[in-house]
């Protein structure tokens, strides 16, 4: 039976909007259609501005928006942030046994999904309200503030249903993964070919423009390594984007393979792979979400209680300076914790303050290593649980008696080391990539490569199952 916590959501389950699981087998071409339709709706929402917003608004998160598939001042203002945060909170609670949930039981799985949806809606409301109170959309909004709030909540519910539509079997993969991949691809293409600020169009136009027409001199050095303000993408950033893609693709295929054999089939041997990126990109996602919240709440506290940067204790959390008084609340961190958890834009920014870059990279590496170890236990990827799974599937290590202890002992030599090393590697890739000004941010590229690889495997399985129906039974569908 479900735990007391999950039972609290039983009454709410009846009134929540829900996408039904298909009662028939959805064909491959139909899945492609629904996946494409969901993607189109997401892209349209990313371009529709929120009603009631006038003039320019500040951008709190900048590059972090790529990770959360959000778009400033549009219906996708909050992106997938509340959904991802709700899912991570519940998974951490379930994995640490703070709430009782047996995913092998349909009732528990259903209540877990309901709890995730309720928490997503609550976090959407909380985050939307915080955005309005922070003055992001201006002050003295009056009734318009209520209109903006309900737009954000409604858009959050639509995004949640789009993700559910894909995950319930109507589409391919996960809606969240699809949105992140689309956001990264859009950012890379826009940074490259944008007619006003793109590298190969807008950047060259600025380079050829006279200083009088351009108001500020845009030099070949700026085009090559980027401006300190980060207004334009750079040639080095473009090269670094391609290099980062290739490095991540290579590392995703790097693994240690342990020889295994099946107890019931003598002579039949296999290998158990332990990937270098054992916990994938989850550590850098957790770290980025933590840094984003530090940035947001420090900015909120600064805008309401410390605009003069005169409070010593609040200055430790973050100090800010106004970039452009004509733009509502257009600020950037100038000191405190918020300053050191924000990545420099490019090489010029790193050169202007190398201490900030080193501290940021150090904090990112430490948190990614810690989050890797935490997720190792919470996510059920530890040596003990993996050894039990291998035993239950009838596998053993050649030369050892069939017992969980030898398998666990050998796994303990590899998994913890690989986990920490993988966390450090993804942190270094994400941090250093940002220093070179990669398009779509280092974390965004990490996520995009992982998602593209997952979709490639999924498409191959779906296509094989469509062509050879007997294969569907082998892969357990």
Measured CA angle at 197 (ends 193, 198), to 5 deg: 20
Please return the burial class of 442, using the count of CB atoms within 10 Å of its CB with bins 0-12, 13-18 and 19+.
buried
CATH fold of the domain at 234-438: Preprotein translocase SecY subunit (1.10.3370)
Measured over the CA atoms of residue 105, residue 106, residue 107 and residue 113, the dihedral's sign is: positive
Whether 67 has a pLDDT exceeding 50, the answer reads yes
Give 322-359 pLDDT, tens digit per residue. Answer: 765 554 456 778 889 989 998 888 888 888 889 999 99
User: Distance between CA 194 and CA 449 in Å, rounded?
Assistant: 23
Q: For 373-427, what is each residue's pLDDT tens digit?
A: 887 876 677 888 888 877 777 777 776 666 667 788 888 888 888 999 999 999 9
Contact predicate 363/340, CB 8 Å: yes
HSE value, Cβ hemisphere, 13 Å, CA-based, for 434: 29
234-438 and 1-175 share a CATH fold: yes
Answer whether 359's CB lies under 8 Å from 340's CB: yes
CATH superfamily placement of domain 1-175: SecY subunit domain (1.10.3370.10)
Cα 366–Cα 367–Cα 369 angle in degrees, nearest 5: 65
Beta strands in 392-447 (DSSP E): 395-396
Non-local CB neighbours of 141 within 8 Å, separated by 6+ positions: 52, 132, 148
Contacts for 406 with CB less than 8 Å, ≥ 6 apart: 397, 400
73 in Cβ contact with 131 (< 8 Å): no
Residue 475: the pLDDT is 46
Checking if the pLDDT of 133 tops 60, the result is yes
pLDDT at 287 over 80: yes
Percent of the chain topping pLDDT 70: 86
Q: Give burial (CB, 10 Å; 0-12/13-18/19+) of 77.
A: buried
The 3-state DSSP class for residue 228 equals: coil
Query: What 3-state DSSP class applies to 85?
Result: helix
pLDDT class of 474 with cuts at 50, 70, 90: very low
Size of the chain, expressed as the number of residues it contains: 477
C-alpha 44/C-alpha 34 separation (Å) is 15
Q: Which residue has the higher pLDDT, 464 or 371?
A: 371
The answer to whether the beta carbons of residues 226 and 233 sit under 8 Å apart is yes
Which residues lie across from 257 on neighbouring strands?
A: 273
Which H, E and C letters describe 98-119, residue by residue?
Answer: CCCCCCCCHHHHHHHHHHHHHH
Q: In this structure, are residues 318 and 335 in contact, taking their beta carbons and an 8 Å threshold?
A: yes
Residue 364 · residue 431 · CB < 8 Å: yes
Domain boundaries, the chain: 1-175, 234-438
| 468 confidence band (pLDDT: 50, 70, 90) | low
Average pLDDT of span 273-299:
82
pLDDT at site 427: 93
- Tell me: pLDDT of 240 over 60: yes
Query: Which structure tokens are listed for 325?
Result: 């008084």
Smallest Cα–Cα separation from 242: which of 192, 177, 207, 179?
A: 192
């Amino acid at each position: 039976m479900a735990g007391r916590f999950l039972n609290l959501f039983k009454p709410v389950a009846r009134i929540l909007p829900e996408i039904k699981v298909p009662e028939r087998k959805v064909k491959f071409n139909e899945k492609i259609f629904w996946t494409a339709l969901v993607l189109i709706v997401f892209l349209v929402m990313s371009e529709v501005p929120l009603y009631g917003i006038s003039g320019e608004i500040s951008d709190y998160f900048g590059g972090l928006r790529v990770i959360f598939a959000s778009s400033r001042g549009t219906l996708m203002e909050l992106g997938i942030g509340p959904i991802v945060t709700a899912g991570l909170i519940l998974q951490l609670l379930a994995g640490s046994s703070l709430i009782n949930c047996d995913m092998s039981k349909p009732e528990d799985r259903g209540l877990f999904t309901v709890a995730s949806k309720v928490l997503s809606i609550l976090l959407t409301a909380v985050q939307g309200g915080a955005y309005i109170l922070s003055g992001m959309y201006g002050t003295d909004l009056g009734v318009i503030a209520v209109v903006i709030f309900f737009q954000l909540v409604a858009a959050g519910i639509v995004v949640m249903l789009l993700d559910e539509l894909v995950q319930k079997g109507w589409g391919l993969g996960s809606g969240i993964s699809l949105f992140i991949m689309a956001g990264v691809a859009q950012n890379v293409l826009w940074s490259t070919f944008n007619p006003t600020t793109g590298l190969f169009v807008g950047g060259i136009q600025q380079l050829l423009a006279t200083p009088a027409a351009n108001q500020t001199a845009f030099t070949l050095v700026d085009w090559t390594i980027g401006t300190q303000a980060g207004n334009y993408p750079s040639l080095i950033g473009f090269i670094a984007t391609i290099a980062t893609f290739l490095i991540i693709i290579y590392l995703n295929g790097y693994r240690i393979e342990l020889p295994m054999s099946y107890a019931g089939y003598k002579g039949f041997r296999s290998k158990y792979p332990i990937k270098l990126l054992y916990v994938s990109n989850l550590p850098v996602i957790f770290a980025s979400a933590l840094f984003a919240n530090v940035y947001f709440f420090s900015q909120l506290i600064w805008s309401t209680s410390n605009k003069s940067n005169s409070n010593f204790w609040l200055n430790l959390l973050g100090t800010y300076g106004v970039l452009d008084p004509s733009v509502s609340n257009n600020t950037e961190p100038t000191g405190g914790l918020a300053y050191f958890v924000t990545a420099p834009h490019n090489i010029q920014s790193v050169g202007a303050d190398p201490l900030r870059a080193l501290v940021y990279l150090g904090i990112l590496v430490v948190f990614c290593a810690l989050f890797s170890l935490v997720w190792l236990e919470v996510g059920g990827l530890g040596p003990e649980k993996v050894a039990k799974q291998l035993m239950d599937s009838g596998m053993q290590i050649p030369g050892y008696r069939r017992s969980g202890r030898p398998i666990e002992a050998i796994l303990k030599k590899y998994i913890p080391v690989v986990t920490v090393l993988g966390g450090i590697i993804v942190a270094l890739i994400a941090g250093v990539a940002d220093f070179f000004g990669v398009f779509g941010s280092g974390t965004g590229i990490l996520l995009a490569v992982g998602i593209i690889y997952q979709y490639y495997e999924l498409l191959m399985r779906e296509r094989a199952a469509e062509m050879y129906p007997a294969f569907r039974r082998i892969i357990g569908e």
